Amino acid sequence: MTACSVVIPEGAVQVNNATPEDTNKDVLYQVALLQSLVQGYYDGIVTVDELKKHGDTGIGTFEGVNGEMIVLDGTVYQAVADGSINTPSDTETIPFSNVTFFEADETVSLNGIADMAALQETMNGVVDGLGANCFYMVRIDGSFDSIKVRSEYKQEKPYRPLDVALAEDQTEFDYEDIKGTIVGLYCPDYMGDLNTVGWHFHFIDEERTRGGHVLQVSVREAEAALDITDGFEMALSRDDVFQDMELSKNVDEAIHKAETATTGSDASTEGDTSTEDPFYITEITDDIFDRIYGKSFKEDCTLPREDLRYLHVLHKDAEGNEYEGEMIVNKHIAEDVLEILKELYEADYPIEKIRLVDEYDADDEASMEDNNSSAFNFRFISHTTKVSKHGLGLAVDINTLYNPYTKTVNGERIVEPVTGEPYLDRDADFPYKIDENDLCYKLFTEHGFEWGGAWKNLKDYQHFEIPDEKIAEWYPEN
C-alpha cells in the first residue's frame, strides 16, 4: 500500500522533474484542498504541465476558477463559461485538482439511470462492495438522455468565497441525447477536511466541444470503469495567503452549495422561486417528492403528501456566514416555522445547518451528529401504530449536536447523538446552546411549541413540538 505524502513547493508554483514513467500510478494526486478553494484561494499552485506528470485522468479547475477541468486520456480540457471546450497551455496554473494514472480495476454497465441521485446510489453500491475507504476514479462512457452542466466566469482579485462567486458568475447548459464521458472522483468519509466526500462528476462530450461540472444527468446506456486507488499525495502552497487561511474551519455548507447549486429552480430552491423573498413556502412538488420518497417519506408513510410543506430559508452560523436552508414541516405549522426562522435569521441567531434529513438518508443520528436542524421524518412510535410528531412534521429539532437528547434507562444514560455527550453540561458556555433565556426558545414557545429541554423524565434540548391537545384536533385518528 502506498503511503500518503504532502508536497509543499518552495515557490508559488511547484516544479517536478519526474516523468510519468517515474510516478507511482496507484496514487491520487491532489492540488491543495477543496476547503481552500471554497474559501476563495484561487491562485495556481501547479502548472498544467506539472499536473500531467501525476495523472492522465481527473477533474479540477484553473487559476481564478476559470472554468471546469476534465482530464481524459492524458489531455487537459477546460470547459469555460460560454460552454465551449479549450485545451489550455502547459503554463496555465491550477489551484485545485485531483488526477491519477487511470487503470481500470472494475467495470459496471449503467442502463436507464434516471437522475443524479440514482447514479450516485448505483455507484455507492459498487463502492460498498469493493471497499468504501479507498479512492475511486471513474470514467463513464456512453449515451445520455440528458445532462445539465455548469461552468463559471474567471474571478478577479480580491477573490470572493466560491459559493458567492458561483451565485453571480455561474453559467449552466442543458444537453439532450448526447454522447460523451463523465469523469468522476469518489473520496471516503475521512477525507471530509480535505475534499468533498462521495462523488464529484465532470462531463465532456464525444466531440470534445461541450462540458462542465455535472449538476444533473440521465444515463441511457453507458459503461463505467473504476480505478481503485490506495495512495494519496497532495501539493500545497507556501505563500502567505494560503498559510494564513483557517483551513480547519467548517465549510461543509458552502461546499454543498458550490457542488449542487444551480442558477434556476433546483434541489435547493424548489417551488415558487419567482419571488425575490428567499423565505417562502411551497407544496411538495414532484421534484421535491422524488428527493424524499423512500427516505423521510417512507413507503409505509400514512401522512398524506398534501399535508406537508417545503420551506426555503436563510440562516447564519456562529461565525456569521450566511447559507440557504431547506425544511419540510406539516402544513399546520408552516407559517409559524417560517416566521420563527426568519426572525432568528434577522437577529443573527446562529443555526449551523438546515438541510433535509434525506441528505443523510433519513438517518437521524447522522443528521444530529452533523448539527443539522430538521423536522419531518416519518416513523411510528416504537411498538405502536401511532405516528411520532416528527412523522407528522409537527416537531422541529434545532442545532442538534449541541442540544442532545438524553434519558436514563435501567441506570444507564442514553445520549443522542452520542457525540453530543460533552454538551449535557447546560451550565457550560458553548455555541449553539438552547436554554430558556435565548431567542430560539422564546420564539418557538410564543408560537405554541413545547420545549423538550423542560421535560422532567428526559431531556431533549434540541426539540420543539406541538402539544398533544392541538394534534388531536388536527389528527384525531392518531
pLDDT digits (tens, 9 = 90+) for 10-40: 444 544 555 555 556 789 999 999 999 999 9
Tell me the per-residue pLDDT of 143-153, one tens digit each, with 9 for 90 and over.
999 999 999 99
CB 99 within 8 A of CB 51: yes
Shared domain check, 388 and 454: yes
Beta bridge partners of 142: 180, 222
Q: Is the pTM of this model over 0.75?
A: no
Q: What is the pLDDT of residue 413?
A: 93
Shared domain check, 436 and 334: yes
The CATH number given to whatever domain includes residue 228 is: 3.30.1330.80
Mean pLDDT (whole number) for 232-244: 93
Shared domain check, 250 and 270: no
Tell me the per-residue pLDDT of 33-73, one tens digit each, with 9 for 90 and over.
999 999 999 999 999 999 999 999 999 999 999 999 999 99
Q: What is the pLDDT of residue 268?
A: 33
Among the listed ranges 10-24, 111-125, 182-196, which one has the minimum average pLDDT value? 10-24
Provide the edge-to-edge strand list for the sheet that holds 280-283. Answer: 280-283, 308-316, 322-330
Tell me the per-residue pLDDT of 127-167, one tens digit each, with 9 for 90 and over.
999 999 999 999 999 999 999 999 999 998 889 899 888 88
CA distance 50 to 41: 19
* β pairing state of 106-113 and 211-229: antiparallel
Q: What is the pLDDT of residue 265?
A: 35
Of 258, 276, 297, which residue constitutes the final position of a domain?
258
User: What are the angstrom distances between the C-alpha of 59 and each of 42, 96, 116, 212?
Assistant: 15, 9, 18, 10
Q: What is the pLDDT of residue 168?
A: 82
With CA atoms as reference, report the closest residue to 326 among 295, 372, 285: 372
Q: What is the pLDDT of residue 275?
A: 37
CB 43 within 8 A of CB 95: yes
- Domain total for the chain? 2
38-54 burial string, b = 16+ CB within 10 Å, else e? bbbbbbbbbbbebbbbb
Tell me the per-residue pLDDT of 249-307, one tens digit each, with 9 for 90 and over.
777 777 877 777 665 433 333 333 333 578 999 999 888 999 999 999 999 999 999 99
The parent domain of residue 194 ranges over 5-258
Shared domain check, 386 and 447: yes
Report for 4-13, 285-294, 332-341: range of highest mean pLDDT: 332-341
| Residue the block writes with cell 438517518 | 363
The answer for 160, left when phi > 0, alpha when psi is -120 to 50, beta otherwise, is: beta
Mean pLDDT (whole number) for 384-405: 96
Shared domain check, 303 and 245: no
Shared domain check, 271 and 124: no
Shared domain check, 281 and 360: yes
Shared domain check, 324 and 198: no
Predicted confidence band of residue 1 (pLDDT cuts 50, 70, 90)? very low
Shared domain check, 190 and 329: no
Shared domain check, 298 and 177: no
Helical H segments across 306-396, by residue range? 334-346, 364-369
Among the listed ranges 283-292, 338-347, 420-429, which one has the minimum average pLDDT value? 283-292
Torsion of CA 307, 308, 309, 310, to 10 degrees: -160
Mean pLDDT (whole number) for 415-430: 96
CA distance 209 to 121: 29
Shared domain check, 288 and 197: no
Shared domain check, 338 and 453: yes
Of 227, 258, 289, which residue constitutes the final position of a domain?
258
Of 192, 223, 258, which residue constitutes the final position of a domain?
258
Predicted confidence band of residue 362 (pLDDT cuts 50, 70, 90)? very high
Ramachandran angles phi, psi of 175, nearest 5°: -125, 145
With CA atoms as reference, report the closest residue to 100 among 67, 139, 148: 139
